[in-house]
Amino acid sequence: MNAIVSLFRIAVGVVATIGCIAASAGEQGAISVASLLDEMTDLKGLARFPHPSYTCKQFSSYDRNARSPSEDWFANNDCGHYLREEQRAGRTEYVMMDTPGPGAIVRIWSANPAGTLRIYIDDSEKPVIESPMSDLLGGKFPGLPRPIAGEYSKGWNLYFPIPYAKSCKVTSDKGGFYYHVNYRTYESGTAVRSFSLDQLEALKPRVQRLVEILSDPRKAVGPGEYGSQEFELAIGPGQSMRHEMYGPAAIKRGVVRVGARDRELALRSIVLRVTFDGERTVEAPLGDFFGSAPGINPYAGLPLGMTAEGVMYCHWYMPFRDRAIIELENFGKDEVTLSGELDVEDCKWTDEMMLFHAKWRAEFDVPTRPMVDWNYLNARGRGVFVGVAFAIDNPVRDWWGEGDEKIYVDGETFPSHFGTGTEDYYGYAWCWPVRFTHAYHAQPRVDGPGNYGRTSVNRFHILDRIPFTKDFKFDMELWHWNEKCKVNMAVVAYWYARPGATDGFKPIRAEDVVLRPMPEYVVPRVKGAIEGEELKIVRVAGTAEPQEWDGLSGGRHLWWHAGMKPGDVMALEFGAPKAGKYKVIAKFLRARDYGIHQLAINGVNAGNPIDFYNPDVRASNEVELGTFELKERGNELAVTVVGANDKAVKAYMFGLDYILLKPAE
């Protein structure tokens, strides 16, 4: 170990300091699209408190009934809320954002982009961007390609920056959608060059370089000035290891490979601690620190990631003035081997530099009721929040993440970030249980079926980092569809702060890192049920497909969810044990965006239209549709959209769990 430690006793030189401070040169000119594009991959810049200073806040469609912790604090109708409606050129525009400058939009997200999005800047009556929202957020707008924008697991994200000198207003000419708009507001007097479309041509080389980096972020940071310093070590049960480095210097890159009998257990039982200049600012299980836990779950983020082969990389920039101490402790029962590289460069320490922080906490057997604001981070001091990685053990298939993020900065009594759902914060949507990866956000693990099992998600705030001067608080609502289960949760928060900052994390104990086993999931099935998701679709307007949902027979239903309008029909084919007269019973799903539908069997209406609206997602009781003459094969269940409840989001959705046939007496 002494040989390894000696590799990092690096003397300070003047040559390498250029790389540490060069990024600040761009701050001397006006804020522009070009300077903001550079920030999107400038991980060194995260370690300096922003100059010129700015705040970062969010407009969203959150439920306006949530006014205070004592007044509908967990209200959940988070769709279709706007600042106001405006009439312009004979159309209604729904105002999503309206704010004075100088500033910049740094992210736009939606679960269901709708209408034409218009962005007006600097009090102009003519929009600087006018595009179908799905094109702009989906990477189809000319000059703003994937992965700067794109759809990932049903979430639509635009990360292209849009600066403005005086003001900015964002509208759509169609309502009824979920949205976030994240934006900076710079200190008064900051010079900003406002965005215009004609800038895109000159920016093409910069945009192309950005696309290359975001498409393969593992290569974004290369070896340091002195080359990579390799290490290899073994840590037995109960043992710990320690490395020291002397500065002023900065860790710019780390690569780690883990060998163990059970790597999933090893990555939770090995705890990483880093002390910079006498302050312990990093403490987390090794796998959690690398942004995806438990186990090896491949994803490629800009600051962190891991490969399918188990190679984990870290690009967070970590400067220090005098000394850094890296410690690893094995709380497990097996020996663990670690190998990899560490890149360190000289870095001149200045008054604007900040120390890197990454802290972990976990809580087990947390009941889903009553609902709570589960804390991700409480920090005091002067710093910048840059990301989070979250893991949950969910014993049921029900959606666990209906809760909204609430972020409070510098003593705010109401959050300046109030979200619309946990998955929305992480950049996806509709509780979609499909893995995805992007440079700024990912869902590296989701076991299934549905949302059962272990899920891991992360989001890195690079351009949308959130500065704070006194304190920072990040809560996430625990809002689970299942009211009677318990979950395990763990989170790593990432931030930078000036020396002397404090946080609310407690030291990690051996019992904290024990990996609890998941209970086996047994899919319930109603005896004799003809499953909706297994029926043959004869014809359909729009999109119908199976959707996993806990609590339903077979754990799924047939979900008719996109592209339909009143008058549209979906026809399904089903059989019977034999020809004859049957009482037909059915069970459905109900929700706030479900419609009113007329059901008919073999051309005969099954009673009156049924209203499937409900404020929350719920399975209906069994519904008797009537008695019908059925054939052994080729019976048709037709579902016609009639309309929607006045309280409903006008999406006209429909969900069929199952049909039961009982011989009529």
Q: Shortest CA distance to 589 belongs to which of 624, 625, 549, 562? A: 549
In this predicted structure, the answer to whether residue 465 has a pLDDT above a threshold of 80 is yes
Banded model confidence at residue 665, pLDDT cuts 50, 70, 90: confident
In this predicted structure, the answer to whether residue 593 has a pLDDT above a threshold of 50 is yes
Q: What percent of the chain has pLDDT over 90?
A: 91
* Mean of per-residue pLDDT scores for the chain: 94
Under DSSP, is residue 345 helix (H, G, I), strand (E, B) or coil? Answer: strand
Banded model confidence at residue 198, pLDDT cuts 50, 70, 90: very high
Low-confidence winner among 391-405, 550-564, 575-589 (lowest mean pLDDT): 550-564
- Measured from the Cβ of residue 53, the count of other Cβ atoms closer than 10 Å reads 13
In this predicted structure, the answer to whether residue 643 has a pLDDT above a threshold of 90 is yes
In this predicted structure, the answer to whether residue 132 has a pLDDT above a threshold of 50 is yes
- State mean pLDDT over 602-620: 96
> 166 vs 66, 104, 158, 458, CA distance in Å?
31, 10, 22, 34
Report pLDDT for 15.
31
Q: Shortest CA distance to 478 belongs to which of 491, 489, 462? A: 489
pLDDT digits (tens, 9 = 90+) for 293-347: 999 999 999 999 999 999 999 999 999 999 999 999 999 999 999 999 999 999 9
Provide the terminal-to-terminal Cα distance of the chain, rounded to the nearest Å.
84
How remote is the C-alpha of 272 from its chain's centroid? 25
Does domain 31-218 fall into CATH 2.60.120.1390?
yes
Under DSSP, is residue 436 helix (H, G, I), strand (E, B) or coil? Answer: strand
In this predicted structure, the answer to whether residue 650 has a pLDDT above a threshold of 80 is yes
Rounded to whole angstroms, the Cα distance separating 67 from 413 reads 11
Which residues share a beta bridge with 58?
Answer: 182
Q: Per CATH, which fold does 530-663 belong to?
A: Jelly Rolls (2.60.120)
Report pLDDT for 550.
73
Half-sphere exposure (CA, 13 Å, Cβ side) for 288?
A: 30
Report pLDDT for 10.
35
Tokens representing residue 82 in the block: 């706007």
Where does CATH 2.60.120.1390 sit in the chain?
Answer: 1-30+219-351, 31-218
Note whether 477 and 419 are within 8 A (CB): no
Q: What percent of the chain has pLDDT over 70?
A: 95
- ∠ CA 650-69-616, nearest 5°, is 30
In this predicted structure, the answer to whether residue 551 has a pLDDT above a threshold of 90 is no
Where does CATH 2.60.120.260 sit in the chain?
Answer: 530-663
pTM more than 0.75: yes
Chain position carrying tokens 């870095």: 347
Cis peptide before 102 (omega within 30 of 0): yes
In this predicted structure, the answer to whether residue 25 has a pLDDT above a threshold of 60 is no
Q: In the 8-state DSSP scheme, what is residue 229?
A: E
CATH of domain 1-30+219-351: 2.60.120.1390
Note whether 133 and 172 are within 8 A (CB): yes
| DSSP string covering 283-335 | EEEHHHHTT--SS---EE-SSEEE-TTSEEEE---EEESSEEEEEEEE-SSS-
Report pLDDT for 20.
57
Note whether 39 and 462 are within 8 A (CB): yes
- State mean pLDDT over 409-426: 99
pLDDT digits (tens, 9 = 90+) for 209-265: 999 999 999 999 977 666 678 999 999 999 999 999 999 999 999 999 999 999 999
Under DSSP, is residue 3 helix (H, G, I), strand (E, B) or coil? Answer: helix
Tokens representing residue 439 in the block: 């440079």
Banded model confidence at residue 22, pLDDT cuts 50, 70, 90: very low
Rounded to whole angstroms, the Cα distance separating 549 from 531 reads 13
In this predicted structure, the answer to whether residue 28 has a pLDDT above a threshold of 60 is no
Rounded to whole angstroms, the Cα distance separating 247 from 71 reads 51
Secondary-structure breakdown of the chain: helix, strand, coil percentages, each rounded to the nearest 5: 10, 45, 45
Report pLDDT for 522.
82
Report pLDDT for 613.
98
